[in-house]
Structure 1
Amino acid sequence: MDNDPKHTSKVVAKWLIDNKVKVLEWPSQSPDLNPIEHLWAELKKRVRARRPTNLTQLHQLCLEEWTKIHPTYCGKLVEGYPKHLTQVKQFKGNATKY
């Protein structure tokens, strides 16, 4: 939950209350601390550079580019997590260079 309007609509709020889901307060535009988000951004950048023109091509390019992302890239994202977390704490949850 990142305070995106689709997560804060009345129907969603009602569903969360009805289903007794406890929601933590979370600042809007807060840094994403999940390394997978950076991996998705990398995939998106690679696919966008190849300019797919239809859904079939988009799917194919996603598969191709996904296989080109080396496991060491994923490892570096995870290894960089402590530095990322330190910066987020230093900037009190505001934007960082990550």
Structure 2
Amino acid sequence: MCFARGSLTAIRYRDEILRPLVRPYAGAVGPGFLLMQDNARPHVAGVCQQFLQDEGIDAMDWPARSPDLNPIEHIWDIMSRSIHQHHVAPQTVQELADALVQVWEEIPQEAICHLIRSMPRHLYNPFIMGKAW
């Protein structure tokens, strides 16, 4: 999802992500659905926490300063580096959105699978566990 204007506030997060996307997806998955989000301000705002509680959507506890164990964070890094390697940086939000779609489509599925398979190594690394948790 790309926001054409403004910042992601708690109200926007609730109204543009949680309500139209997360709630139906949680309903489709059914019991056992667990929302994974970090501690970004919009995610932990009272209005969003209340919405999740009212909808019966459980969110994973996420410790402060925890390592990025979500593979999507690494995909964002791959996409960012790919965009920066182009000679002309996107000048508008639409150009950036188009560039993101293009580089997303160029990521080999095997690279995504590799990141997912690497998560247990990160999870059980005593150095990470000792420092962050």
- With normalisation by structure 1, the TM-score equals 0.68
Matched, 1:83 2:121: yes
Kindly tell me: are residues 9 and 66 of structure 1, through their superposed partners in 2, closer, same or farther at Cα, counting changes over 3 Å?
A: closer
Structure 2's unaligned 5+ residue stretches are 1-36
* Cα offset, 1:52, TM superposition: 0.6
Q: CA offset at residue 93 of structure 1?
A: 6.5
What stretches of structure 1 move > 6 A for 4+ residues in a row?
A: none
Identity %: 30
Quote the offset at 1:28 in angstroms: 1.6
What CA deviation, in whole Å up to 9, does each residue of 1:5-27 have, x standing for no partner? 21222212322333344444321
The alignment covers a number of residue pairs equal to 93
Give RMSD over aligned pairs: 2.5
Deviations 1:23-72, CA, capped at 9 Å, x for gaps: 44321221232223211221122123431111332233223322332233
- Which structure is higher in RCO with an 8 Å CA cutoff and minimum separation 6? 1
Once the two structures are superposed, the pairs formed by residues 31-42 of structure 1 within 5 Å of their partners are 31-42=67-78
Contact 1:31 1:93 in 2 (8 A): no
- Partner amino acid, structure 2, of 1:55: V
